Chain A
Amino acid sequence: MKKLLFTLALSAGLGASAVQAAGPDVASVLKHHAELVHANYTDTLAAARTMRAAIDAFLAQPSAESQQAAQRAWRAAREYYGQTEAFRFYGGPIDDEIGPEGRLNAWPMDESYVDYVVGDATAGLINDRAFAITKQSITDRNERDGEENIATGWHAIEFLLWGQDLSATGPGARPWTDFMDGQAANADRRRAYLKVATELLIDDLEYLVKAWRPGSRVNYRARFVEEGQESLRKIFVAMGSLSRGELAGERLEVALNSQDQEDEHSCFSDNTHRDAVTNAQGIENVWLGRYRRADGGLLTGPSPRDLVAASDAALAERTSARIAASVAAASAIQAPFDREIIGGRDAPGRQRIQNTVDSLVQQSKDLVAAANAVGITKLTLVQP
């Protein structure tokens, strides 16, 4: 993300309470939503810990095989994190003024800020031996003097695992020997950086799990479930903002227009097509109150859809269909994304992306109508 602090508009903007024929009450929807959020972050944390184990193994004994295992673990963890992005954009634990979003998922990344790139063999913090590599120091450097000066998070780790994507047909191809003393300059520092960045990411995910953990009377979740209609409004704000401005806009349409790899979310691994799917899936999870756990179990419960259906069944059905269509459209985007965006207006890949954009934009409008049906009339976010 191009990190800016977001704050909610001061006014809750709540309209008159909707008259509901039947269905769940708001409190039960909020309670289940909190459960879903906690489950998703918990699965993400578990997957990230698995990734950490794979990275530790790679660093202990670098090889092509151990590097690929770490890469697979990164991709697996992203499957869960991508879905959690539907919990953003309302100043919750992930992206309030102290939230870790900017440390976790900032992009696009100027990779030369961290390590060598083609044409500059000594670039980056790794090759600056005067720079002490610690959680605090890379946190301090993250986004310093420029939004693209990304030092932490998923994409810094991604860059260290894959390297620059210089291939037209595949992801980056960083040699595993970059982590071997005697075979690459500053291999010791590269190992240290990857380890520290991974530990920091785990810390931040633990923070999020804690914020949504059940049983606490003082964490964010406790307040969230008590705030009734305002929390329901936040759920709709998250779904709509991710649908339109972020996923349809920043992540897909900007790339479609720029035809530039710089606008590819997970550009080093060529995993951007999955980012789009998991984001769209995350919105559907929230809307339906349904989440497929990492262990295969299905978490279900009272949902925003159910609330809307009690007021306007047809609208709820239409919104569900549109959200499902967006997931399907995103699933049709092919890898590598940086080739999918190239071409004239009629290029098949560009049309697949455009279809997804169009569906997401319509989805955002349907979500406004759905929010109206449950008495919510103001869904905007504003910059500071």
Chain B
Amino acid sequence: MSGRRVGMALVVAAGLLVGGVARADPAWIAAVERDWFAPRAAAFAETAAALPPALRGLCAAPPERTEDALTRARAAWRSALTDWERLAGVAIGPVLDLRAQRRIDFTPTRPRMIEKAIQSAPAGPAAMELIGTPAKGLPALEWLLWVKPATPDSAACAYAVQLAEEIAREAVAIAAAPFNTRPPADFPSDLINQWVAGLERLRWIGMELPIHVVTTSETGGAPEFPRGRAGAAALAWAAQWDALRALAITGHGSLAAVLRARGQADAAVELADRVARVDAALRDLDVGDPARVRAATGVLTTLRHRVETAIAPLLGVSIGFSDADGD
């Protein structure tokens, strides 16, 4: 029996529906943790751990090595960002429990708060607790690496090290935390609703809103996509999509696997087809081509609609509320 079939059998054995409502399903939870969460959390912990030494290297760099050190720090940030998005693209488990998105990925970052934080020269976790999240996390570090690059031996560089260390601490905490602390019966609903919220974060916040702002503004200009300061907008889109895609169709805990296990093979095939269309729409997407970006958001919308109206009911899940609601 192949590994895949083992996983499917586990899902089948768990029994997913009672009277149309998803019930406790330890095998599904275990599969998502093993195949999706654990490797992604570990990857983020590893690349986040590389941030502090890279930043320390920048702060200690002699003038003739500053450029190289900045390049290395930027590369470390891009690696950490990629693994963060591959994990936080669907905020489930510890990412949700620890409110990690708000803690280390508050957007947009607030430069005036960064400047104020630099002046206060915090050192260590307790002092960093008193700094507001708009001045912390990956976006603030992006600011200090690209917009106003911290220079060696500066207060800004010392603060950047503190940011990097906090991100690394958060990554360790995420990887070490128990994956599911909620009632198992809530898992299907949490998973699918957070998946939809993740898709909306990619589609609306990441792609369409910046275009909407420009097209409704009198001043015009180029869309300011998240991570654009680092030239990493497309990188972030791809990583977020990787998180969504994997939970949709890859591995034993994916929606497609669960659908097949429930005898809904046709729905699984259709889901895979919709995912493939998004793959094509996002492939080699260029931030300088807003028309194509907008077209891609349309394909994402179609996928979301399908998951909400067809997949979720098949899995006994009601589409409810998430942090993405409100305005």
Contacts and interface: CB of A to CB of B under 8 A. Distances in A.
Contact of A2 (B103, B110, B131, B327): B327
A250 B327 CA distance: 7
Contacts of A367: 320-321
Contact of B110 (A4, A260, A365, A371): A260
A145 B204 CA distance: 19
B304 A145 contact: no
B318 A378 contact: yes
Interface stretch (A5-13, A123-131, A198-206, A282-290): A5-13
A377 B326 contact: no
Given A13-B308, A260-B134, A344 B129 contact: yes
Given A253-B99, A260-B110, A262-B110, A379 B327 contact: no
Contacts of B130: 259, 342-344
Interface string B110-126: 10010000000000001
Interface in B302-321: 304-305, 308-309, 312-313, 318-321
Nearest to A258: B132
Interface stretch (A37-45, A61-69, A238-246, A313-321): A238-246
Contact of A344 (B106, B126, B309): B126
Given A145-B218, A244-B326, A245-B323, A258 B305 contact: no
Contacts of A260: 110, 113, 132, 134
B326 A89 contact: yes
B102 interface: yes
A4 B200 CA distance: 14
A261 B94 CA distance: 28
Contacts of B325: 89, 240-241, 244-246, 249, 380-381
Nearest to A95: B327
Given A262-B110, A345-B129, A371 B323 contact: no
Which residue among A245, A342, A345 has the maximum number of chain B CB atoms within 10 Å of its CB? A245
A242 B326 contact: yes
Interface string A228-270: 0000000000001111111101100110011110100000000
Contacts of A376: 318
A1 B102 contact: no
Q: Report, as a range, how many residues of chain A touch the other chain.
A: 35 or more
A382 B321 CA distance: 11
B322 interface: yes
Nearest to B182: A365
A344 B129 CA distance: 5
A364 interface: yes
Nearest to B137: A257
A257 B102 contact: yes
A247 B113 CA distance: 24
A123 to B, nearest CB: 16
Contact of B323 (A10, A249, A380): A249
A3 interface: yes
A362 B308 CA distance: 22
Which residue among A247, A365, A377 has the maximum number of chain B CB atoms within 10 Å of its CB? A377
B254 interface: no
A372 interface: yes
A364 B126 contact: no
B133 interface: yes
Which residue among B106, B129, B313, B321 has the maximum number of chain A CB atoms within 10 Å of its CB? B321
Interface in A343-364: 343-345, 364
Interface in A1-30: 1-4, 6, 9-11, 13, 15
Interface in B175-190: 186, 189
24 contacts: A9-B308, A11-B309, A15-B318, A145-B219, A244-B325, A245-B324, A246-B326, A246-B327, A249-B325, A250-B326, A257-B133, A258-B106, A258-B134, A259-B131, A344-B129, A364-B321, A367-B320, A368-B320, A377-B313, A378-B308, A378-B309, A380-B319, A382-B200, A384-B208
Interface of A: 1-4, 6, 9-11, 13, 15, 89, 144-145, 240-247, 249-250, 253-254, 257-260, 262, 342-345, 364-365, 367-368, 371-372, 376-384
Interface of B: 21, 99, 102-103, 106, 110, 113, 126, 129-134, 186, 189, 196, 200, 204, 208-209, 212, 217-219, 301, 304-305, 308-309, 312-313, 318-327
Given A11-B309, A245-B323, 6 more contacts: A11-B305, A13-B309, A249-B325, A257-B102, A257-B132, A368-B189
